[in-house]
């Protein structure tokens, strides 16, 4: 799990989302779960939990991509400490966080992704990247 400072957003994997002791220790208030192939996280009642199951490719429904980006955007703008997690924490969560950051800070997706890659490795799905780029271009 890694924070994308100075914003109140962390990127992680399915294991990070299930480590509720660490989630609480980090002061997180919300989890956005993007892992379609993982079972839902059994969260504690204090946590907000948003599940938007995405596949790691181009086959996602438009409404799901919009909902994932908008949810993270809203949580960041409201300063809610949030973990965004997918299976490995390498593609879906970095891309959705980058898309939300690009909207929050009015910067390009590429600039937001550069910032994220400075904080840790990513392995972006080309299909998902193209879908997210298309979503941001239509805004």
Q: What is the pLDDT along the chain (139 residues), one digit of tens a residue?
A: 999 999 999 999 999 999 999 999 999 999 999 999 999 999 999 999 999 999 999 999 999 999 999 999 999 999 999 999 999 999 999 999 999 999 999 999 999 999 999 989 999 999 999 999 998 987 6
Q: Which domain holds residue 58?
A: 2-137
Number of domains into which the chain is organized: 1
Query: Which pair of tokens denotes residue 103?
Result: 């909207």
> What CATH number is attached to the domain comprising 73?
3.90.190.10
C-beta atoms surrounding 105 within 10 Å:
13
Question: How far is Cα 40 from Cα 128, in angstroms, rounded to an integer?
Answer: 21
Q: How many CA atoms lie within 13 A of 126 on its CB side?
A: 0
CB 84, CB 72: distance < 8 Å? yes
E strands within 1-133? 2-3, 9-13, 30-35, 48-54, 82-86
Is the model's pTM score more than 0.85? yes
pLDDT the model gives residue 137: 87
Which residues contact residue 43 at a Cβ distance below 8 angstroms, ignoring those fewer than 6 apart? 20, 31, 49
């Amino acid at each position: 799990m890694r924070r994308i400072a100075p914003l109140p957003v962390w990127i992680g994997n399915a294991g990070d989302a299930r480590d509720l002791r660490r989630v609480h220790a980090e002061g997180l208030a919300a989890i956005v779960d993007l892992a379609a192939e993982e079972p839902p996280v059994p969260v504690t009642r204090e946590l907000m939990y948003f599940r938007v199951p995405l596949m790691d490719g181009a086959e996602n429904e438009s409404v799901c991509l919009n909902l994932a980006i908008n949810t993270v955007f809203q949580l960041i703008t409201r300063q809610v400490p949030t973990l965004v997690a997918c299976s490995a924490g390498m593609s879906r969560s970095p891309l959705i966080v980058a898309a939300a950051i690009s909207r929050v800070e009015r910067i390009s997706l590429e600039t937001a992704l550069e910032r994220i890659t400075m904080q840790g490795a990513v392995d972006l799905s080309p299909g998902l990247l193209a879908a997210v780029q298309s979503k941001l271009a239509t805004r």
